[in-house]
Amino acid sequence: MQIYSVSMFRSFPLHFGRKEETPDIQKNSTQKTTNTETPFIDTQTVLNMTQKKGERIMKKSIKDLGDIEGKRALVRVDINVPLDADKNVTDDTRIQAILPTINYLKDKGAKIILMAHLGRPKGEWNPEFSLEPVAKYMSDMLGEEVLFVAAPVGKGAEKELENLKDGQIALLENIRFYKAEEAKDDDMTFANELAKLGDFYVNDAFGAAHRNHTSTAKLAKVLKPAVSGLLMEKEIRCLSQALDNPTRPFTAVVGGAKVSSKIGVLENLSDKVDNLIIGGGMAYTFAKANGGHIGNSICEDDQLEVAKAIEKNAAEKGVRLVLPIDVLVTDDFSGNGTNKFVDVNNIPDGFEGVDAGPQTRKEFEDVIKSSKTILMNGPVGAFENPAFAEGTKAVLAAIIDATENGATSVIGGGDSVSAAKKLSDADKYTHVSTGGGASLEFIEGKVLPGVAALDDK
Ligand code: AMP
C-alpha cells in the first residue's frame, strides 16, 4: 500500500504575459483605458493556481477593464464577519479588506452590487444569518446608504437595483439562503439568474475561492468579463510569488495540531523550500516516528509512516528539516498545573508537549532570521493559552525581524493569522492572508475553482 506519495509537480519559471486589449463591456461605450495607468508588475503578477504544464495562468483583474462608468459590477466578496447577540459586527477585518476594490469601482463610476455569504444557513432562509446588519454596519462605516436587497433573485431584485446610481453600493441577502448556491451539479439556472444583475463579474472573495459554488465559480462562466478584485489579486500575487519565485533561502514554518491536515502542505513545500520548520502538535508524531518517548502528547499513530516519508523526502530533496529539540510540557492543559521544559524525545508520562522550548526557539529563530522568504502555516504551540504562547510569539517576532531586514513574509491563513494578530503587530508582515481553507489549498498546490474560473489574461 502506498501511504505517501511524493508530488511530481515541479514549479517552472513564472509565465509573464503580454498586455492585451481591454475586455469589451459595452461596444458603444467611450473606452477609458485603465490598464495603461497600471504599473506593469501588477498586471504581470495576477496569477492563479490553474497550472498548465507547471505554469500558472495569469488572470484579469478589475484594473484590466475598460470603461466601466455606469456599468453594474456584480462582486463576490467575503464579508463573513462575526456578529454578537445584538447583531453588531465585532470584527470588521474582512470588510476593511474589500474597501480597495469598492473604492476602485466607485472611482470608475461603476454601480457596485455585492454578493456574499454569512455563516452556514445550508440553503434555508434563516434570519439568524441575514446580511442586513452587515449592510447597516457598512452604511455607517462608509457614511452612505448601502442598499440592502432582501431577495437577490427575481424581478424584485432587478427592479430594486434599477435605480442604483453610479458609484452606489448594494448588498444582496445571504447567497447561501439559496440551495442552488452550493449545489454540486452543472445546472446553470441560478448562475444565469444572478448574471442578470450585473454587466460584469468580479471575484474578490479569496476566502471562498476554494469553493466551487455558483457565486464563486459558476457565475464567472456566464457573466463576462469575469475578473479578480484587488484583494484577490494581492492574495494570489503574494502567495504565488512566495511559492514560485522566492528569494532564497526560503523557509516554511508549518505547525498546528495534526500531520494529517497538513500532508498536502508539507508535500508541496518540500519541493520548494530550503528549510522546513515543523512545530506544534504535529511535531510529536515526528518525534514518536523517530523512536522518541512523547508521554501524553498529541500524536497520530496512523501518520507515523507519513512522518518518516516526509523526512526521507526532505533529505532526498536537500531540504533542511528543523524539528523541535526541547519542548514545554504540562500535566494540565488549562495551564494551571506543572509546566516544565524537557527533551522532545523524553517526555514523562502524564505530561504533554504544548510549546517550543528555549533551545528550539533559538534554532527556529536563527533559521528564520537567515531567510529571505518565510511562509508560516500553523502555530508552534497551543498559543490560545498565554502560558503556551511564547514559542509562537518568538517565531512571529523572528519573522518580523527578518521582514524588517528585507525578507518577504507571508502568514498563510487560519490559526496562524489569529496568532499573528494576538501575539504581534500583524501590519509588520509582507502579507497576512485573509483566507483560511483557501490559502491552505493554495499552499498545497491545488487549483482554486474561484480563481480558475476567471478570465485569463
Ligand atoms: P491547525 O488548525 O491544524 O493549524 O491547528 C491549530 C491548532 O493547533 C491551534 O488551535 C493550536 O492550539 C493547536 N496546537 C498547536 N500545538 C499544539 C500542541 N502541542 N498541543 C495541542 N494543540 C496544539
pLDDT the model gives residue 27? 32
If phi > 0 it is left, if psi is from -120 to 50 it is alpha, else beta; for residue 143 that is left
End-to-end Cα, the chain, rounded Å: 42
Best residue among 288, 383, 433 to mutate for probing ligand 1's pocket (most ligand atoms within 8 Å of CB) is: 383
237 part of the active site? no
Report the nearest atom of ligand 1 relative to the CA of 283: 19
Q: Could you give the number of structural domains in the chain?
A: 2
Whether residue 82 is found in the same domain as residue 204 = yes
pLDDT of residue 413: 74
CB under 8 Å to 185, separation ≥6 — which residues?
A: none
pLDDT at 397: 98
Exposed/middle/buried for residue 1 (C-beta within 10 Å: 0-12, 13-18, 19+): exposed
Report the atom number in ligand 1 closest to the C-alpha of 384: 12
Q: Whose CA is nearest to atom 6 of ligand 1?
A: 256
Q: Whose CA is nearest to atom 18 of ligand 1?
A: 281
Residue carrying the nine cell digits 522546513: 276
* Nearest alpha-carbon partner for 389 in 397, 379, 398, 399: 379
Q: Which of 282, 298, 421 to mutate to test the pocket of ligand 1 (most atoms within 8 A of CB)?
A: 298
> Which residues does a 6 A CB cutoff place in the pocket of ligand 1?
255-258, 261, 280-281, 298, 353-354, 378-379, 381-384, 414-415
> In the structure grid, which three cell numbers stand for residue 225, read together?
468579463
- Active site includes 211? no
Length of the chain: 457
Question: What is the residue with the minimal CA distance to atom 10 of ligand 1?
Answer: 382
Are 117 and 174 in the same domain? yes
Q: Whose CA is nearest to atom 4 of ligand 1?
A: 256
Structural domain containing residue 258? 248-406
User: Helix, strand or coil for residue 368?
Assistant: helix
Query: Based on the domain organization, do 291 and 207 belong to the same domain?
Result: no
Q: Are residues 224 and 297 in the same domain?
A: no
Question: Nearest C-alpha to atom 2 of ligand 1 is from which residue?
Answer: 256
Query: Which residues does 155 contact at the CB level (< 8 Å), separation at least 6?
Result: none
Sign of dihedral through CA atoms 74, 80, 85, 88? negative
Co-location of 160 and 45 in the same domain: yes
Domain boundary residue, one of 185, 201, 236: 236
Tally of CB atoms within 10 A around 355? 29
List residues bridging with 171 in a β-sheet. Answer: 114, 148
Specify whether 203 is located in the same domain as 267: no
72 counts as catalytic: no
Q: Which atom of ligand 1 is nearest to the CA of 355?
A: 19
In a domain, 108, yes or no: yes
Pair (181, 288) in one structural domain: no
Asked if 19 is an active-site residue, the reply is no
**What count of other Cβ atoms lies within 10 Å of the Cβ of residue 290?**
14
Say yes or no: 61 and 193 in one domain.
yes
Q: Of the residues 414, 435, 445, 450, which is catalytic?
A: 414
Catalytic residue among 136, 258, 369, 422: 258
Asked whether residue 438 is assigned to any structural domain, the reply reads no
- The answer to whether residue 303 is domain-embedded is yes
- pLDDT at residue 54, rounded to an integer: 53
Q: Are residues 231 and 255 in the same domain?
A: no
Q: Tell me whether residue 173 is in a domain.
A: yes
Q: How many A from CA of 286 to the centre of ligand 1? A: 15
Give pLDDT tens digits along the chain (457 positions). 333 333 322 222 222 222 233 333 433 333 333 333 322 223 333 344 444 445 678 899 999 999 999 999 999 999 999 999 999 999 998 999 999 999 999 999 999 999 999 999 999 999 999 999 999 999 999 999 999 999 998 878 888 899 999 999 999 999 999 999 999 999 999 999 999 999 999 999 999 999 999 999 999 999 999 999 999 999 999 999 899 989 999 999 999 999 999 998 999 999 999 999 999 999 999 999 999 999 999 999 999 999 999 999 999 999 999 999 999 999 999 999 999 999 999 999 999 999 999 999 999 999 999 999 999 999 999 999 999 999 999 999 999 999 999 999 999 878 999 999 999 999 999 999 988 899 999 999 888 999 999 999 9
Q: Which atom of ligand 1 is nearest to the CA of 257?
A: 8
- 363 Cα to the center of ligand 1, angstroms: 20
Q: Ligand 1 centre and the CA of 280: distance in Å?
A: 6
Is 126 inside a domain boundary? yes
**Residue nearest atom 5 of ligand 1, based on CA coordinates:** 256
State the catalytic residue, choosing from 59, 60, 94, 237.
94
